[in-house]
Amino acid sequence: DVSSWTQVPLESITGLSYYPNRLPLDLQNQITNVLPKGLFSGTNSGRQLHLYVPFPEPIQRLNNYLPSEFLSDVWKNQPAEASIIQVYNPGDGIIPHKDLDMFADGVAIYSFLSDMTMVFKLPSKKLKCDVRLQKGSLVVMRGPARYEWLHEIPFRGGDWISSSSQDNATASNQTWTPRNQRFSITMRRIV
């Protein structure tokens, strides 16, 4: 029962950082246009595409938008080696999970086309944090955020959005916001 969980602010999760409006619109469009059209077709469950280096040129450029301290401290100034493109139609999600140990510390997720809420959970302490992933944004997980916290995208057609602030939302000031088709690009290094 998620109502018994304590909602905590993003800043309290060590290793979790969120960067809205990270990608220029023209790069978002170039990436969307370079991907196979079939990835976006169909209205049932979304599709996935796994890529390894060398990436297509606009996807390679996503390395340039990673925070410099993340690149230097976590990836030791090496670029991403593996990326996964995941399409979500309304109703799609991803179950609570930690990323596989074959991937190194430091996971970067860029969001495209539509906004969607990702939920971080620490089951041992019943803590949770809703993070609104806006299109063009970047979310980065390292350390505890990557190895201790679970992340998920609830399987539903929309999200409850606070009209005032993303934190401390109460039921009264939330509006139901339907989702549109979204895709994400997760950038990782391999251990």
Does 109 contact ligand AKG by CB under 6 A? yes
Closest alpha carbon to 5 in 157, 150, 178: 150
Token pair for 142: 């390292």
Does 151 contact ligand AKG by CB under 6 A? yes
Out of 99, 105, 115, 148, point to the residue binding ligand AKG (CB under 6 A): 99
* Size of residue set near ligand AKG by CB under 6 A: 9
Does 89 contact ligand AKG by CB under 6 A? no
Closest alpha carbon to 136 in 165, 150, 115: 115
Out of 94, 127, 161, 169, point to the residue binding ligand AKG (CB under 6 A): 94
Closest alpha carbon to 151 in 121, 129, 123: 121
Does 84 contact ligand AKG by CB under 6 A? yes
Strand partners, 161: 175
CB of residue 188 to ligand AKG, shortest distance in Å: 8
**Cβ atoms of 158 and 179 closer than 8 Å:** yes
Rule CB under 6 A: which residues touch ligand AKG? Answer: 84, 86, 94, 99, 109, 118, 151, 184, 186
